[in-house]
Every structure is written in structure tokens, then in C-alpha cells.
Amino acid sequence: MKLSEDVSGPTVALKERAVLLFREHLGAVRRRTDRLFAGLMLAQWAFGILVALFVAPYGWEGKDGAPHAHVYAALFLGAALTVFPIALARWRPGDAATRHGVALAQMLWSSLLIHLTGGRVETHFHVFVSLAFLALYRDPWVLLSATCATIADHIIRGFLWPESVYGVVDPGWWRFLEHGFWVGILDMVLLHAGRGMRREMREVAVRRAELELAREREEEKSAALDRALRELSGFQEHLIRVEKLAAVGQLAASVGHELRNPLAAVRNAHAYLSRRLSRDVIGAADDPRVPQFLGVMERELGACAKIISDLLDFARERPPALQPCPLRPLVDEAIGVVPPRDGVRIINEVPESLPVPSLDKEQFRQVLVNLVQNAVEAMPTGRTGQVSVLAEGQDAGPWAIRVIDDGAGIPPDVLPKIFEPLFTTKTRGTGLGLAIVANMVQRHGGTISVRSEAGRGSEFHIHLPATAAAQAA
């Protein structure tokens, strides 16, 4: 079997798939046609018996009426012509032997009906109808078998028993040519139509094959994409683990570096105090360097505690414990914790009449302390400046808290990195302060952003959702 020539450049896989689909479709059509003829045979059998009964029902043998031989012919010969093709359709549906058996039986049924009606011209149309039905098989060889059978029947019976075919004793030798001519004309029409139907079936098979192959290719691409996504997910997890390990290493180095200096200062102060006290405990009280070194120890141990506190704040994921928290007193507490600096004024501009939001007091105090302290430290040395804390919000609306300074500002290349853990431009510090601020604000369901301009200062903007005020109400 070949594909239609109008299919341009089909691949081998496409050809094989199209041939398979064409065969499956053609087989299904032929099996349906077998079932159609099985039913048709039964109907013809019943029709033949009725014709035998009512058209030529009885013959007379003496004084008693008896069934005519036509009735026996319709009953028993019709049974043979019916059972045989039905058995083939039942046990071997779609086979070539079944098609040819059905064709032979159908054309013999035409002969029987023509005989039962005494060779009436109208009954000869059963031949043409039968050929049209047989064309449903889309098999030109079936039409050939049927045509040969009916022509042979006309020739043989026309020679031996002409009245059973033509209804007259002497129809003329050329009558079979007349019938054969019209059968040939019908065959050519049916062959042409059958060829067109087979071509359409091939074209449909090619289109289906193209669709199926395209769908399989899409499924293969989808599977490959899924594999790639899984591999990418694996790489991402591996990268995250590597980044975490790198972060841990960087954090350890940063914390170790930051702890080393204050601990070295504490150790030196402790060494001096040990020596001084070992020599003269009473005279040490009058040594002005003793309180100086004690102050150094206190300050540096405080720095160590601050580093450890930042580290714990960054590592812990404690959810916020929300409670009504007036903002203005909270800002005052935060400002009181920040070490003062000469020339830098810190102003609490939060209105006293502001509604009370719901916040985690300790976490948000830490947020404000870090932002205010960073703003103070951003002020250039020797220059005066101002840090302002503002807030606004309503009971049923979102909240905004701003920390504004007029310091040196943040360079544009540094601005995108300031919330990254361990990133810092200071000579001292772990780089966790703003990362801790961002985490705590996010735990409150809020966002933080910054706007800065070199030489004109920065503005940190905290946006909290309306639920904060609603929960506090």
C-alpha cells in the first residue's frame, strides 16, 4: 500500500503511521459493512418469502393446493444465501473472504428475487442497488466478483432458463449484453467514487498521523522540559546549600573579625588591671587609667554583646507577637537607645493623636533602633544634621513609617545591596543590621524601601498593611 502522491516529502515514520491508520480505518469500515449486509440478508430472506407467497404462492396438483416450488426456493435457498454470509460476518469480519462471500451471496439474492418475480424489469434494479451497497467495502475486487457472478448468472440462465431472468422464453441472445452494459457503466461510476473515497481516507490518515506525531513530539518536549526543570530544581537546591555554606563561612569570618578587636581590647585592659592590682591594690584606686580601662572593657563587651545579639536576631525566625503598641513612645525608646552624636539632632515627629497599631514591640523597637542608628552614622564627621522619624496611618488604612536623614546618602551602586545579609561599607559591623530590619518588617506583613540621593540624605519607608491597625482597634 502506498501513500497518496500529493503528500510532499513525508518521513518514514509519517508514512508508516499513515499506512497503519489507513488500514485501521478501512478495516473498521469493512467490518461495519459486514454487519450491514448481515442485517440486509435477513431482510431479503423475509422479503423473498413474502414475494414467493403472495406473487406466486401456490401451484395446483390435482384438486389440492400446495406450496409452489418458489416458496421452497425462497425458504431454503434463501436460507443458504443468508446463513452463509452472516456466518462469515460473524466469525471473520473484515476479511477478504467474507467480502467476496457476501458479494457472491448478494448477487445470487438478486438472481433469486428476479426469478421469484418472474424476471420483472423492476427487480433487476436490485442488481444495481446491491453493487452500490457492495461499493461501501471500498474494494474494487469485490465489485469484480459481484459483476462476474451476475453476468455469469445472466448468461447461464439466459441460455438454459431465459424466462427466469427475462420473463420471456425467447428474449434474444443479446439481452445479456444489454444488462452487462448497464452493470459495466455502474461499475465504472462506483470504481471512480470508491477511488475518491480511498484517496480521502489516505489524506485523512496522513493528517491524523501528522497530528499524532506532532502530539508525541510535544509530549517528548514536555517530558524533556520536566526533566530539565527537575534538574534545574536540583541545581538550585545545591546552589542554595552552597550559598548557605558560603554565608555561614562569611558570617563566621565576619563575626570572628568583629569579636577579635573588642576581645583584644578587653584582654589588654584586663592585663593592665591585673598587673596594676597585683602590684598595689590600694594605690590602684588612685590610678586614673584603672577607670579608663574598666570603661574600655564595658564598652567592648557591649560591642560583643551587640554582635551576638544581631547574630541571634538574624538567625531566629520568631513570629511577631502582635499587641497594641503606641508608636510615639516606641520611637522615644528607640531614640534613647541610640548613642548620641554631637551635631546630630534626632526628632520624633510621630503625632501623639495617631491611632495605635498592632506590632511586636520588641521587634519593631529593634527596627527603629537600627534605622535611626544607621541614619546617625550616615552623617559626615564634623557636620551637623538631623534625623526625623515620622508616621502616619488610620484605623482602617495602611501605615507608613519613615526615617529621614540629611546625611551623605547612599551611592547608587551600593543601594541595591544594603538589605543583603553580611553586606556593609563600614569598617566595623557584621552587615546584619538592615537585613534584620527587612526580616522583621516582612514578618509583620510589611515592606521596606529606601530612597537616597548622594549628598542629600536618605529616606527609609516602611509600609504596613491595614490589618495592623485593624487588629489593634
Distance between CA atoms of residues 448 and 441, nearest Å: 7
Mean pLDDT of 77-94: 93
Tell whether the model's pLDDT for residue 286 goes beyond 90: no
Give me the amino acid identity at 320.
Answer: P
Query: What integer pLDDT is reported at residue 67 of this predicted model?
Result: 61
Mean pLDDT of 40-61: 79
Strands (E), 323-411: 323-324, 344-348, 358-359, 385-393, 399-405
Tell whether the model's pLDDT for residue 341 goes beyond 50: yes
Tell whether the model's pLDDT for residue 367 goes beyond 60: yes
User: 90-99, 250-259, 406-415: lowest mean pLDDT where?
Assistant: 250-259
Q: How far is the CA of 179 from the CAs of 113, 187, 429, in angstroms?
A: 16, 12, 112
Query: What integer pLDDT is reported at residue 1 of this predicted model?
Result: 44
Tell whether the model's pLDDT for residue 440 goes beyond 80: yes
Q: Which residue has the cell 526615617?
A: 403
Query: What integer pLDDT is reported at residue 460 of this predicted model?
Result: 93
Query: What integer pLDDT is reported at residue 161 of this predicted model?
Result: 85
Tell whether the model's pLDDT for residue 6 goes beyond 70: no
Q: How far is the CA of 230 from the CAs of 5, 221, 224, in angstroms?
A: 45, 14, 10
Select from 305, 302, 300 the least CA-distant residue to 269: 300
Q: Which domains are assigned to the chain? A: 10-218 (no CATH), 247-315 (1.10.287.130), 323-464 (3.30.565.10)
Query: What integer pLDDT is reported at residue 356 of this predicted model?
Result: 86
- Given a contact cutoff of 8 angstroms between Cβ atoms, the answer to whether 330 and 289 are in contact is no
pTM assigned to the model: 0.52
Helical pair 78-91 and 12-54, crossing angle rounded to 10 deg: 160
Distance between CA atoms of residues 358 and 322, nearest Å: 5
- Given a contact cutoff of 8 angstroms between Cβ atoms, the answer to whether 425 and 414 are in contact is yes
pLDDT-derived band at 2 (thresholds 50, 70, 90) equals very low
Query: What integer pLDDT is reported at residue 380 of this predicted model?
Result: 83
Q: What are phi and psi of 99, to 5 degrees?
A: -60, -45
Helical pair 175-279 and 12-54, crossing angle rounded to 10 deg: 140
